[in-house]
């Protein structure tokens, strides 16, 4: 089922250049950093990277801009984000092209990523008139007790290759309406997409009269990220990536008593109960496990199936896996694009080999594809693996399409398996039994930040708060009241009584 013809690196370079031109940015020529495409595994452009000196200047500029931006009324700040949303609508295809060229996403998912950006812009514009505090009943006569939400400061955004644009927009659209300014260190694997986002925001700023300096882009490596982590002017560090990265970032930010918002690894599972609608379950599982070539933090990695349906379900999944078209993500027939790198492919193979050693059986996929056509790229058939139990390798997150199937007898056992991993991002149950569904959603059910019924683990809407527990880092971003992490709360007591009344009935003077 492979798509045999891949675009050449020259074609991809031309395509990326054309998108960037229409957006209005030219990549900074240089030799520090290579923009690369996983479609062929080859370099597109040499780019100039930012160093620690640039990071210092960017933080200072963002801090200066913050001092003015915080005094701009929130609905006016919303106008900048509204314009960004309009520009994203106009350049949806251009940004999606860059996402496909740099992250390897299939067309529909790349367009979906830009739609997610448009959605969060709409959400943030509405939010710009709804940064509500509360009034609280005071215990004293003639007093008013209230809380007010104020802008926080500079937000450092550290993002990953797999959502090179949307995760930036969740943070940036919300931070900007909250009155914060942003310094962004994107993944070194997706510099062109970041230049496009920064360029569109710069245009939105110019057209709405907002200061350009509210957003700063740093195309750099670890040294640049470290500056954001350590600088006390960066009030909030919002970091998306591996648990290993989070374990370094979290304590360092905490050591200076800064705030961090961590979105780390997931090892997401779905429980398939006896009453499940199997047609629905199969389609949901294949999208969640093989979509985005298994490279979402919300990717389905574990399937916990009732023993009575394990064999028929596994058979249907293996048949579906066998037909998945792997290849050029620009080809409308393709469902699985390349992995980000051959290193990711090596890790995937290691995981399968370790799993086999731990007693598992590879049922479908796992083989490299298109190696002759693109020897530096990493096309692979998504793997379906049946594991005898939840062994060590099953408890780890491998950022590649490997779905481990486990079986259970009682719901209690299914939930114990489900929660028996260090990560806690996303989870699902497929069932038509309301009691089972409610138990899964209850305090004794799934321990994740996202818990779904009859829908897969990936592809959350922006309206909800996004994030997870345990090794996932505890952060929440995107919709609902996640904006509060980007603001500081002030509690106000106002005495309009003309006399002094102390709280807790204290008398003094
Ligand atoms: C990520 O993989 O880092 O829920 C984010 C989803 C997307 C976001 C994933 N809306 O799959």
Going by C-alpha positions, the residue among 267, 327, 321 that lies closest to residue 299 is: 267
Ligand 1, atom 7, lies closest to the CA of: 459
Q: What is the pLDDT of residues 56-102, one digit of tens each?
A: 999 999 999 999 999 999 999 999 999 999 999 999 999 999 999 99
- Residue 159: CB within 6 Å of ligand 1? no
Separation of CA 163 and ligand 1 centre (Å) = 7
Q: Which atom of ligand 1 is closest in space to residue 299's alpha carbon?
A: 11
Neighbours of 465 (CB within 10 A): 19
Q: What is the pLDDT of residues 314-349, one digit of tens each?
A: 999 999 999 999 999 999 999 999 999 999 999 999
CA-CA distance, 248 to 51, in Å (whole number)?
A: 20
The pLDDT score that the predictor gives to residue 509 is 86
Ligand 1, atom 3, lies closest to the CA of: 297
CA-CA distance, 264 to 239, in Å (whole number)?
A: 8
Separation of CA 298 and ligand 1 centre (Å) = 6
Which amino acids are annotated catalytic? 263
Residue 2 has pLDDT above 70, yes or no: no
First to last CA, the chain: 86
Separation of CA 54 and ligand 1 centre (Å) = 30
- Residue 171: CB within 6 Å of ligand 1? no
Q: What is the pLDDT of residues 230-241, one digit of tens each?
A: 999 999 999 999
The pLDDT score that the predictor gives to residue 22 is 98
Q: Which atom of ligand 1 is closest in space to residue 450's alpha carbon?
A: 4
CA-CA distance, 281 to 316, in Å (whole number)?
A: 10
- Residue 163: CB within 6 Å of ligand 1? yes
Residue 175 has pLDDT above 90, yes or no: yes
Separation of CA 113 and ligand 1 centre (Å) = 9
Q: Which atom of ligand 1 is closest in space to residue 458's alpha carbon?
A: 11
Pocket test for ligand 1, best of 460, 465, 472, 482 (most atoms within 8 A of CB): 460
Q: Give the chain's mean pLDDT.
A: 97
Instruction: Compute φ and ψ for 332, nearest 5 degrees.
Output: -60, -20
Average pLDDT over residues 385-413: 98
Going by C-alpha positions, the residue among 425, 460, 462, 473 that lies closest to residue 174 is: 462
């Amino acid at each position: 089922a492979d798509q045999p013809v891949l675009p050449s690196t020259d074609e991809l370079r031309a395509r990326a250049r054309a998108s960037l031109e229409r957006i209005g940015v030219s990549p900074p020529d240089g030799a520090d950093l290579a923009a690369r495409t996983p479609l062929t595994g080859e370099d597109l452009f040499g780019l100039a990277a930012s160093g620690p000196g640039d990071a210092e200047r960017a933080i200072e500029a963002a801090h200066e801009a913050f001092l003015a931006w915080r005094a701009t009324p929130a609905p006016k700040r919303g106008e900048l984000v509204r314009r960004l949303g309009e520009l994203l609508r106009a350049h949806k295809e251009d940004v999606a092209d860059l996402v496909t060229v740099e992250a390897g996403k299939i067309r529909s998912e790349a367009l979906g990523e830009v739609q997610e950006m448009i959605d969060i812009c709409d959400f943030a514009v509405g939010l710009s008139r709804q940064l509500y505090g509360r009034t609280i009943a005071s215990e004293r006569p003639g007093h008013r007790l209230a809380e007010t939400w104020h802008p926080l400061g500079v937000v450092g955004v550290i993002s990953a290759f797999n959502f090179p644009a949307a995760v930036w927009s969740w943070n940036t659209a919300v931070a900007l309406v909250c009155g914060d300014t942003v310094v962004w260190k994107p993944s070194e694997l997706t510099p062109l997409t970041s230049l496009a986002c920064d360029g569109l925001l710069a245009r939105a700023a110019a057209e709405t009269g907002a200061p350009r300096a509210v957003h700063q882009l740093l195309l750099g490596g670890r040294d640049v990220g470290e500056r954001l982590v350590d600088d006390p002017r960066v009030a909030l560090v919002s970091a998306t990536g591996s648990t290993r990265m989070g374990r370094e970032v979290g304590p360092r930010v905490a050591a200076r008593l800064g705030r961090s918002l961590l979105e780390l690894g997931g090892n997401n599972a779905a429980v398939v109960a006896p009453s499940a609608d199997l047609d629905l379950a199969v389609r949901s599982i294949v999208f969640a496990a093989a979509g985005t070539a298994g490279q979402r933090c919300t990717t389905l990695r574990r399937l916990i199936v009732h023993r009575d349906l394990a064999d028929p379900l596994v058979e249907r999944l293996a048949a579906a896996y066998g037909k998945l078209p792997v290849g050029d993500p620009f080809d409308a027939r393709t469902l699985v694009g390349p992995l980000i790198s051959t290193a990711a492919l090596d890790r995937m193979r290691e995981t399968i080999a370790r799993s086999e050693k731990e007693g598992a059986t590879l049922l479908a996929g796992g083989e490299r594809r298109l190696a002759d056509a693109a020897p530096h790229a990493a096309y692979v058939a998504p793997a379906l693996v049946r594991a005898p139990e939840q062994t060590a390798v099953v408890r780890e997150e491998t950022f590649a399409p490997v779905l481990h199937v486990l079986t259970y007898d009682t719901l209690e056992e299914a939930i114990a398996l489900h929660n028996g991993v260090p990560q806690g991002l996303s989870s699902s149950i497929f069932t038509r039994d309301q009691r089972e569904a409610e138990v899964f959603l209850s305090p004794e059910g799934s321990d994740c930040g996202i818990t779904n019924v009859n829908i897969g683990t990936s592809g959350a809407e922006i309206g909800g708060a996004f994030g997870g527990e345990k090794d996932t880092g505890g952060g929440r971003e995107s919709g609902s009241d996640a904006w509060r992490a980007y603001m500081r709360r002030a509690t106000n007591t106002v005495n309009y009584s003309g006399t002094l009344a102390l709280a807790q009935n204290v008398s003094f003077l």
